[in-house]
Amino acid sequence: MKDIFRIAIDGPGGAGKSTVAKEVAHALGIDYIDTGAMYRAVGYKIIREGIDPGDEKAVEKMLSETDIDFVKGDVLLDGEKVNGQIRTPEVSEMASLCSAYAFVRKKLVTAQRKMGKTKSIIMDGRDIGTNVLADAEYKFFVTASPDERAKRRQKELSEKGRGVSYEEVLADIIKRDHKDTTRRLNPLKQAEDAILIDTTGMTVEEVVSRILKEIK
């Protein structure tokens, strides 16, 4: 294992990427970078500011005045902790919309790459192994069936006091999958050199153990 190494985890929404990445980061004593949270933070700010996501200039201006950071596992948007606010279906959809803008991706990807130059990191998202950290030492594509992902996401939202039906969550996941896999700019796909892990029916511990076995 190198002194500085990067682990890329890609996969669709609700596959458990973030949970697994956090556990792997803890086990290896390295930093976890939640790239999805960065896009969600942008989406949340668009909603909060009442900006029309179709108004490219307005979104670009807002982004130029936006700061996103990670401090001890917390997501900070312009200095404010927004961990809970960015985990809603509405924000998920807005995050997917704004990630289609080249200037949004360029700004966030530049920030993400800088993070991996000075320290070992694990990063999860939808185009980490194919674009953001295409030269990462370790790559994994973590997925699960839409049904399994919808059940997990509904449970997560329910635990946070947000009553959303299974059908609504499943529809959101299917819609998001379609957008992510068909977008023109860096669509969601498995990198050729990534290891595929289908987490359907697996516990978090089993997935983490599977990944740690590959990191030597």
pLDDT tens digits, the chain, 216 residues: what are they?
A: 678 999 999 999 889 998 999 999 999 988 898 888 999 999 999 999 999 999 999 999 999 999 988 777 788 899 999 999 999 989 999 998 998 898 998 999 988 898 888 888 999 988 999 999 999 999 999 999 999 999 998 988 888 888 889 999 999 999 999 999 998 888 999 999 999 999 999 999 999 999 999 997
Domains of the chain, first to last:
6-214 (3.40.50.300)
> Which string of DSSP letters, residue by residue, matches 129-146?
IIIITTT-SEEEEEE--H
Full strand arrangement of the beta sheet holding 74-77: 68-71, 74-77, 80-81
Nearest to 5 by CA among 111, 96, 135, 160: 135
Q: What CA–CA distance (Å, rounded) separates 105 from 28?
A: 28
3-state helix, strand, coil in the chain (%, to 5): 50, 15, 35
Q: What CA–CA distance (Å, rounded) separates 40 from 163?
A: 20
